[in-house]
Chains A and B, each alone.
Chain A
Amino acid sequence: MTDIKELKIVEAPDGHAGAGFFATSYSAVIGLARKNSLWPLPFATSCCGIEFMATMGSHYDISRFGSERPSFSPRQADLLMVMGTIAKKMAPIVKQVYTQMAEPRWVMAVGACASSGGIFDTYSVLQGIDRVVPVDVYVPGCPPRPEQIIEGLMQIQELAGKESYRRRNSEEYQLLMDSYNIK
């Protein structure tokens, strides 16, 4: 059993601590809350989905990073994890699911097929989901080991922690959505 002193918990952000209160900046707290409670939407299609199942299990345990509750409804998910080969027929479905997610939302392309089509350079396979949705983190591998998926999640956490909390209402974000024709 892990000794209680070895358990690592989330560090408090920079701020002023007093008797019974802690004052810090709004963005620091929001970033902290967002990054440590990313609820994934496992869009698992193929073999990478199996690796994700292992990652969700107790041995590799993604829930210790806050991804306690995977949701299959985009309304309640923060992170769209596309794991597996996406056919061209499936592409509008991935796009629709992404569009119906509530902000703030991040996308992780797990595996070679989601990142770039993988070994399937054919007429039926979408050559990377970044052709239909904006992707934040790509996890290479065929399939990537659970440790690599966790590394991808930690990079999403870094992005979520440092993101400005008004970014989703900004001009830049709107331009990004328009470039993908996401309404």
Chain B
Amino acid sequence: MILLQKTYMPADYFPLFIQLGCALGFIVFALVLTHLLGPKRHGAVKDEAFESGIEAKGDARMPISVKYFLTAILFVLFDVEIIFMYPWAVNFRELGLTAFIEMILFMGLLLVGFIYVIKKGVLNWLED
């Protein structure tokens, strides 16, 4: 008996998109229909923002410190770098010296960025 190795063409994945479309379509249909047909009661006080039972003041828009954003974005960058290292770890031996040097270059570039971040004092959480 010959074992056939099936190679999948991109066209074979079309049913997945149909399924995705059906799921999305059902969600949209159900949401729209309940929005249109469902019972509603609105009131002046009822629709106000909930502030633990007291009168809501202001609109909650106030400037926040940039350090939160910087911490988050630096995390994302270095996390993506780590993710790139996962396939390299799996195929380490097969890829050989060439890939090793390429990865060292990649990490070196990111290391330069990291040194810049440290020198700029971005990771210093407490501001004087």
- Scoring A73, A96, A99 by chain B CB atoms within 10 A of each residue's CB, the highest score goes to A96
B45 touches which one: A94, A168, A183 (CB < 8 A)? Answer: A183
Q: Which residue of B39, B41, B43, B52 is within 8 Å of A93 (Cβ)?
A: B52
B127 to chain A, nearest CB (A): 34
CB distance from B40 to the nearest CB of A (A): 8
Chain A nearest Cβ from B52, distance in angstroms: 7
Neighbour of A183 across the interface among B46, B50, B53, B54, CB < 8 A:
B46
B102 at the interface (CB under 8 A from A): no
Query: Shortest CB–CB separation between residue B96 and chain A, in angstroms?
Result: 56
Contact partners of A75 in chain B: CB under 8 A: 50
Residue of A nearest to B53 (CB): A93
Partner pick for A73 among B41, B45, B46, B50, CB 8 A cutoff? B50
Asked whether A183 lies within 8 Å of B39 as measured between CB atoms, the reply is no
- Chain A residues 35 to 52 lying within 8 A of chain B, measured CB to CB, are none
Number of A-B residue pairs with CB-CB distance less than 8 Å in the complex they form:
33
Give a binary string over B26-51; 1 marks a CB under 8 Å from any A CB, 0 the rest: 00000000000001010111101010
Contact of A24 with B by CB under 8 A = no
Which A residues lie within 8 Å of B46 (CB)? 99-100, 183
Minimum C-beta distance from B15 to chain A (A) = 26
Q: Specify the main secondary structure of chain A where it touches its partner.
A: helix
Q: Is the CB of A168 within 8 A of B43?
A: no
- How far, in angstroms, from A65 to B53 measured CA to CA in the complex? 27
Interface bits A167-178 vs B (CB < 8 Å: 1, else 0):
011000000000
Q: Pick from B41, B50, B54: contact of A168, CB below 8 A.
A: B41
Residues 41-78 of B at the A interface (beta carbon under 8 Å): 41, 43-46, 48, 50, 52-54
User: For residue B51, which residue of chain A has the nearest CB?
Assistant: A96
Q: A166 at interface (Cβ–Cβ under 8 A)?
A: yes
Chain A positions near chain B (C-beta within 8 angstroms): 73-75, 92-94, 96-97, 99-100, 103, 166, 168-169, 182-183
